[in-house]
Amino acid sequence: MASIKRFEDLQIWLDARVLAQDIIEIIKSTELCTNFKLRDQIISSSGSVMDNIAEGF
């Protein structure tokens, strides 16, 4: 088993990044794009998942 030296190598961080990208695509393709406050909160929270994983590493 290879040792992990960077949080970017963690599979869970990579999955969180894909999730954040998927959420952004959903927002762009729905009416959420016009609800600015909710849109910004959703984008911020999806990004914080990656931040929390990195911080825990």
Give the model's confidence band at 1: pLDDT under 50 very low, under 70 low, under 90 confident, else very high: low
Range of the domain at 34: 21-56
Residue 40 lies in a domain: yes
Can you list the alpha helix ranges (DSSP code H) found in the chain?
11-29, 36-56
pLDDT in tens, 3-53: 889 999 999 999 999 999 999 999 999 999 999 999 999 999 999 999 999
pTM beyond 0.75: yes
**Which pair of tokens denotes residue 5?**
């030296």
Other residues' Cβ atoms within 10 Å of the Cβ of residue 22:
11
In a domain, 47, yes or no: yes
Evaluate whether residue 1 is within a structural domain.
Answer: no
pLDDT of residue 4: 87
Number of domains in the chain: 1
Domain-located, residue 10: no
